[in-house]
Amino acid sequence: MRHFLDTIDLQRKELARVMELATQRQEVLGWPLADYGVALIFEKPSNRTRQSMEMAVVQLGGHPIFTRGEEVGFDVRETVEDITRIMAGYHAMIAARVFDHSVLERMASLNDVPIINMLSDKSHPLQSLADILTMREEFGSLKGKTVAWIGDYNNVARSLAEGCALEGAHIRLGCPSGYGASDDELARISALGAASISQSTSASQAADGAHAVHTDVFVSMGQESETERRLRDFAEFQVDDTVMAAAATDAIFMHCLPAHRGVEVTSEVIDGPASRVVRQAHNRMHAARGLLAFLCEVNDITKGDTK
Ligand code: CP
Ligand code: NVA
């Protein structure tokens, strides 16, 4: 059974297939999820992920059921395994946003239904699909393009780096000391096929000549107690006009959102002509639809099957 816990759960050709499915019309995709439910469980807040996943399920003919994490209570009300086994009888797939990535791994290890990561402490692979879709729309192909990540090498960054490596892009990380990728992580991303990967502790150096400049919040959900220290440590990593000036002339700015204007990015940049954040957010739905259609394909889920 195929799950989607990380971007690298897709091989290079499969990522291309997801991108193809993301751009296909409903007439081509059909209704593979007709008569099926898809469970969407959220231990943390969400706007884009919930809305885009619900609509993607609907567009494939299925019925999404949103559930708050505390309602099911992973390992509190009942075990992760019991919750998964029961829901697998109602749904074609289960998607979850969790604090602890190992919860997703436990769900997937049962191999009852495909499990989808809607963000964990480790990764945010659905976001990376939308990011790649958006950059492909801009550049045609990511091969040989330079993608800069400024800020925290966090869940979003890790998934983006995996996706950019599969696409053959150059990756430039600009992170404060202590918040970057380890040497092992740099080697892992390189081995996935990145044209190159380098890391510095300078935002402008990372952005130098980049075709796309990405950032994210400095304080992720669950890290609120570290806010004061993080805001101090990331003070020099705001994406502003100076950082964007170091990038290629027609460089685009991207952010998974939600954003904090005046913290990780200035209003001038995120609301300026280089910004693609709205398109990027809208692409969450198209990318999610492509991924769900792909999981139906590879797991032989087709309209009319009974469980
Ligand atoms: N980018 C993203 O995942 O947004 P939400 O947290 O609103 O889902
Ligand atoms: N890194 C952020 C992404 C939010 C979509 C977080 O984990 O809160």
Rounded mean pLDDT of 18-27?
94
List CB contacts of 175: < 8 A, sequence separation 6 or more. Answer: 149, 150, 151, 152, 153, 181, 199, 201, 237
Query: 49 CB under 6 A from ligand 2?
Result: no
Query: 220 CB under 6 A from ligand 2?
Result: yes
pLDDT band of residue 307 (cuts 50, 70, 90) is low
Query: 154 CB under 6 A from ligand 2?
Result: yes
Q: What are the DSSP calls for 101-152, one per residue?
A: HHHHHHHHHT-SS-EEES--SS--HHHHHHHHHHHHHHHS--TT-EEEEES-
pLDDT band of residue 118 (cuts 50, 70, 90) is very high
124 Cα–ligand 1 center, Å: 9
Residue 46's CB: how many other CB atoms inside 10 A? 18
Residue 161's CB: how many other CB atoms inside 10 A? 28
Q: Give me the count of residues in the chain.
A: 307
Beta bridge partners of 214: 149, 254
Contact (CB, 8 A) for 149 and 160: yes
Query: 217 CB under 6 A from ligand 2?
Result: yes
Q: Is the pTM of this model over 0.85?
A: yes
Query: 46 CB under 6 A from ligand 1?
Result: yes
Structural tokens at position 160: 């983006």
As annotated, the active-site residues are 97, 124, 127, 216, 256, 284
Beta bridge partners of 95: 40, 116
Q: What are the DSSP calls for 185-208, one per residue?
A: HHHHHHHTT-SEEEEES-HHHHHT
- Can you give the pLDDT at residue 303? 73
Contact (CB, 8 A) for 22 and 290: yes
Structural tokens at position 104: 């997703």
User: How many angstroms separate the CA atoms of 62 and 214, rounded?
Assistant: 33
Contact (CB, 8 A) for 160 and 127: yes
Please identify, by atom number, the ligand 2 atom nearest to the C-alpha of residue 219.
Answer: 8
258 Cα–ligand 2 center, Å: 8
**Domains by residue range for the chain, with CATH:** 7-124+284-298 (3.40.50.1370), 126-281 (3.40.50.1370)
- Can you give the pLDDT at residue 26? 83
306 Cα–ligand 2 center, Å: 36
Contact (CB, 8 A) for 264 and 238: yes
* Ligand sitting nearest the alpha carbon of 221: 2
| DSSP class of 13 | H
Give tens-digit pLDDT for 220-265: 999 999 999 999 999 999 999 999 999 999 999 999 999 999 999 9
